[in-house]
Structure 1
């Protein structure tokens, strides 16, 4: 695992280019503290910088940037190619000679022998790659199939800039830091910036499963080429898998064993995250099955029962006989992480589980350099409760004429949240405990929002929206279209649960889950590997009938059957608590002063991005308990904290911001 950065300045306007490359690399040193390398071609005006976290071939023979023996290609590479040993053997059989043992040398040879597209198709792994073709004077930027590894690029003042993280791009003197307000609105919708957008004007994220070709000085219109698409797998014929339930379970276990075996290859200490849930427990169980020594496992717990899964993880670890380490997190410990978040997630990012993810990464890094993660299981095998809930609610309401539903929506919305709460309080003595709800008014208004859905796609879009009307909060912002507005990608999929799973794989998984894990882990120089996102696993999962994923309203049926071969069912079957923190109450209490300093009139006005009165009104309603707006407020707060933390142009505004911090403290 590493960090890559570079620029192509065809007009040679970058002064002291090697010094600039060092600055860019230093900004992402946390991604690879073991080694540093740079390369600059003064004729082309191209420069590469690389920070290395040594995982395979710890010697100098794995140093990057690396040139091919012919001199044609120069590469910088972030990630791992898990099948590099078989690829190496294939190349050696055709007469190719290797000098080291790194996967970088293998994929460089693969590009030379097969060409870019065929090489990428042959690779199994997670990666972001920059490759310079000195013969054809072309620059290739490539990203892995699911987007496990980040890659940003864009043109500023005529210079092409690219890197694993925006920190390095900001270090180039030609960088312009103009905020894209349309992207800001889109960010508020989801609390993450969706691919291909970037918070800065003129910059983008590379789309997973593609490579981009730049040539000459035509940086603004590069060629973007697909080499793989999850949509194609999702729309593949289901009759390509033949067999009963037992055969499907057997096959899935073998596919998982094979891919986990690949992910356990490392020349450094290796372990796994363990929450005690289905996904992480399956990964750990199959790791332990193939390991001659105890697998190192890590989990964190909370003293608040509704957020704590540590005891369940401990029971699973004990049954599997792993070497388990756990840490119980206090509110003070979790809150102390918050000021660091803007620098860790150097683009606005507001999934509150970023806090425990960073803490468990810190814990694991004290003992290992590589950790396997169970991410992706929910999206592949139908694990989220919204899949069954959305299916049920759409089935219940689809035959009700839209005008009738809109009338019901108007009736519910016409009563204020406070009034609904008062009604619920008045009826509380007569209401059975199982029907009592916290914030009933908020939930009724959310139900009203669903009732206005014209089709099942609208139901899904509403459920995954953190802020329902983001343009109302952003001054001059106009929300952009995303993959979630493209129902055509569903193609041949007719099952609503599977349609939602595909959409999550194209959005939430890559832009929220994978972003969260990559930045948290790399901030402490920890490599994470995600076995479920090996494309051999995803291809098999999409071949399976929907009934093997969601059965009797319960998700991940087939994955559970694999797990129960190794862990007793009673250790797993329990209500899921999630991986979060009580941020709604913290904002009203422990974090209120911090939040007030970022949401004051002066602080909100400083970026010039907000409809200040609209944001302030929602904040006041949340603080008083009148409404529960923590999703929206956390998105605004993470943008504010990010902007003030990284943008020097806000120096004067920050002085005012600082005075307000002192006043509120």
Structure 2
């Protein structure tokens, strides 16, 4: 895991060395072990690299790295898990090869030299963001891994093309403009993150996963091609279920075999390695397989909270004791989590409002005390149907879609016309006769949300109601327009649930989950690896029929069948918990003054970006306890904190 940055420019009289040093220094924490720059002033190209040494800790892994033919110069962020296999294949095919070291960087560069860029990229199993300069043709290539584990931003700013792992590297360059894109900001308020390919700044984009971008001074319009298309994988495999005559009863063993191989490859490291363990299905599966492959106890890490509602540490400890891992748990207090908040604006570079970013930072900080690499269980929900919202949305739509829309809207208007407080009072009258496991908190809020669900015109609108915050009707960003985003209809004949899973794979996973983990881990100079995102597992998962993922109203059936080989069923079966913190009560307590300053009506009006009225209304209602607007408010607060932090750096949009 490293950090890359650089630029291609038409400008003359540029101090290449100074610019590249500053770009690298801005992301030093991504690679504290080594630093290098390379530039060619005549061709206007400069490359900057920060290294976190994982494989080949010697100087032979230093970057930027020049190919043996001297045609290519490369900087690389990530890990190639099959690079030793690729070396063997290349050595067998090209007998004259002489290897200088044993880093995966050299493997990739040698392969590009010998068999070309696209053939090499298609052969890689791993996570990566690559910048490659072709000296012969004066071309710059930017390449991103298939799912989007590693970040890569790019864009023209005047006569200079900037790129890097994080926006803060681009912002150090003198050409950087930094005008806020209000249209992209509007998407942020809807999703809690800025979805690809957009960024918070005009003229700067995220390279979409599975892509190769080519740009040159002669052809400044970037050309982007897909070498691997997740949407195509999802859609095509809909017609190729259980291909190769794989029988249903063979599915668990096939998945187990794939995970065994992926995890074995991802445990390759020249530095200490461990895993996050929440006690849930995904992380327990990863740790169970890791421990089965290791003669020594695997190091595992868990964050605990005193609030039982948010605490999974007890379950993780039970799993760790059964598997006999070397387990470390840390119970954090409110003061520990609150101390993270001031770090968030600079950690995430652009507004980002998934509140689980806080415990994610804390667990990566805990892990870094003992290891340099940690495996995680991310992506199990998206691949194997783990989110409750899939079942809820599909079930709800099947029940209400038969009713005429006019009737549903009439009922919804009536439901919404009753205040949440009145709903809560009515609920309290009957609460005593409702079994404890079915009782609800914030009943009034849920009834109002249900009214919006009921009025949905289609499944897309219903799903958006469940998964988004500020709607377009709120007009929370002044002067914002509409930008196109991914939708459920793009998957054709897929079932409702699979369309929702596919949409999450394309959007929520790379732009929220993977961003959250990457930035939090890199802030602690910790490499994270995600075995479920081995593309062979992704392709297999989309070949499996839905009824082997969801059974009897329960998600992840297939994954559970694998897990039960390693961990007893009774240690796993319990309601799903999110990795969250009590933001709602904190905003009324220890975070109140901080939030009040950021939501100051006069300051927001002066800033002229947000529509103040609906924000202040929700803030007052939340403080009074009348409503729980924690998610809406957190989205605003994270933008405001970011914006204030940027005050002396960016130019304000008009």
Q: TM-score range by the shorter chain?
A: over 0.9
Question: Offset at 1:233?
Answer: 1.6
Flag the 1:229–1:38 CA change in 2: closer, same or farther, 3 A.
same
Q: Which residue of 1 aligns with 2:646?
A: 646
CA distance in 2, matches of 1:323, 1:470: 51
Contact 1:241/1:543 (CA < 8 Å) preserved in 2?
no
Matched, 1:29 2:28: yes
Deviation per CA, 1:161-184: give whole Å up to 9, x if none. Answer: 100001101100111111111111
Deviation per CA, 1:372-399: give whole Å up to 9, x if none. Answer: 0000000000001111111111111121
Deviation per CA, 1:253-273: give whole Å up to 9, x if none. Answer: 001000000100010000000
CA distance in 2, matches of 1:88, 1:330: 48
Q: For residue 300 of structure 1, give the secondary structure of its aligned residue in structure 2.
A: strand
Q: Which residue of 1 aligns with 2:208?
A: 207
Flag the 1:436–1:324 CA change in 2: closer, same or farther, 3 A.
closer
Question: Offset at 1:646?
Answer: 3.1
Contact 1:241/1:544 (CA < 8 Å) preserved in 2?
no
Q: Which residue of 2 aligns with 1:298?
A: 301
Q: Which residue of 1 aligns with 2:571?
A: 571
Contact 1:471/1:478 (CA < 8 Å) preserved in 2?
no
Matched, 1:396 2:399: yes
CA distance in 2, matches of 1:650, 1:528: 31
Matched, 1:405 2:408: yes
Question: Offset at 1:429?
Answer: 5.8
The number of aligned residues is 647
Q: Which moved more, 1:555-564 or 1:228-237?
A: 228-237
Question: Offset at 1:110?
Answer: 1.4
Flag the 1:26–1:383 CA change in 2: closer, same or farther, 3 A.
same
Q: Which moved more, 1:226-235 or 1:144-153?
A: 226-235
Question: Offset at 1:414?
Answer: 2.3
Q: Which residue of 2 aligns with 1:177?
A: 178
Q: Which residue of 2 aligns with 1:628?
A: 628
CA distance in 1, matches of 2:454, 2:605: 36
Question: Offset at 1:438?
Answer: 2.1
Question: Offset at 1:479?
Answer: 3.7
Flag the 1:203–1:610 CA change in 2: closer, same or farther, 3 A.
same
Contact 1:471/1:477 (CA < 8 Å) preserved in 2?
no
Q: Which residue of 2 aligns with 1:542?
A: 542
Flag the 1:299–1:433 CA change in 2: closer, same or farther, 3 A.
closer
Contact 2:31/2:50 (CA < 8 Å) preserved in 1?
yes
Q: Which moved more, 1:464-473 or 1:126-135?
A: 464-473
Flag the 1:242–1:589 CA change in 2: closer, same or farther, 3 A.
same
Q: Which residue of 2 aligns with 1:613?
A: 613
CA distance in 1, matches of 2:292, 2:465: 42
CA distance in 2, matches of 1:89, 1:598: 57
Contact 1:185/1:471 (CA < 8 Å) preserved in 2?
no
Q: Which residue of 1 aligns with 2:508?
A: 508
- Mapping for residues 27-176 of structure 1, pairs under 5 Å: 27-93=26-92, 94-95=94-95, 96-176=97-177
Deviation per CA, 1:333-381: give whole Å up to 9, x if none. Answer: 1111111111111111000100000000000000000000000000000
Q: For residue 70 of structure 1, give the secondary structure of its aligned residue in structure 2.
A: coil
Flag the 1:241–1:420 CA change in 2: closer, same or farther, 3 A.
farther
Matched, 1:442 2:445: yes
Q: For residue 130 of structure 1, give the secondary structure of its aligned residue in structure 2.
A: strand
Question: Offset at 1:427?
Answer: 5.0
Question: Offset at 1:607?
Answer: 3.5
Q: For residue 478 of structure 2, give the secondary structure of its aligned residue in structure 1.
A: coil
Across the aligned residues of Structure 1 and Structure 2, the Cα RMSD in angstroms comes to 1.6
Deviation per CA, 1:525-556: give whole Å up to 9, x if none. Answer: 00000000000101111111111101111000
CA distance in 2, matches of 1:16, 1:268: 36
Q: Which residue of 2 aligns with 1:656?
A: none
Contact 1:644/1:650 (CA < 8 Å) preserved in 2?
no
Unaligned stretches of 5+ residues in structure 1: 653-665
CA distance in 1, matches of 2:52, 2:571: 36
Contact 1:275/1:313 (CA < 8 Å) preserved in 2?
yes
Structure 1 segments of 4+ aligned residues over 6 angstroms from their partners: none
- Mapping for residues 312-391 of structure 1, pairs under 5 Å: 312-391=315-394
Q: Of 470, 478, 482, which aligns to 2:485?
A: 482
CA distance in 2, matches of 1:117, 1:201: 30
Q: Which moved more, 1:445-454 or 1:433-442?
A: 433-442
Q: For residue 194 of structure 1, give the secondary structure of its aligned residue in structure 2.
A: coil
CA distance in 1, matches of 2:164, 2:328: 34
CA distance in 2, matches of 1:347, 1:264: 32
Q: Which moved more, 1:619-628 or 1:200-209?
A: 619-628
Deviation per CA, 1:67-103: give whole Å up to 9, x if none. Answer: 1111110000000111100111111112222111000
Q: For residue 361 of structure 2, give the secondary structure of its aligned residue in structure 1.
A: helix
Q: Which moved more, 1:585-594 or 1:403-412?
A: 403-412
Unaligned stretches of 5+ residues in structure 2: none
CA distance in 2, matches of 1:439, 1:294: 43
CA distance in 2, matches of 1:434, 1:566: 29
Question: Offset at 1:462?
Answer: 1.9
Q: Which residue of 1 aligns with 2:284?
A: 281
Flag the 1:407–1:636 CA change in 2: closer, same or farther, 3 A.
same
Q: Which residue of 2 aligns with 1:226?
A: 226
